[in-house]
Amino acid sequence: MSQEIESRIRAALRPVAPSEDFSKKLLARVIADQPAHPKPRRLPSASARPLMWWLTASLAACLILVVGVQQHLEQQRLQQSGLEARRQVVEALRMTSQKLNLAYEAVKNQSTSLSDEKSGV
Instruction: In whole angstroms, give the CA distance from residue 118 to residue 121.
Output: 8
User: Is the backbone of residue 120 left (phi > 0), alpha (psi -120 to 50) or beta?
Assistant: left
Q: Are 12 and 20 within 8 A, CB to CB?
A: no
Quick check: 93 binds other proteins (CB under 8 A)?
Answer: yes
Nearer to other proteins, 13 or 46 (CB): 13
Quick check: 99 binds other proteins (CB under 8 A)?
Answer: yes
The residue count for binding other proteins (CB under 8 A) is 59
Chain residues in the site for other proteins (CB under 8 A)? 1-2, 5-6, 8-19, 22-23, 26-27, 29-31, 33, 74, 77-78, 81-83, 85-86, 88-112, 114-115
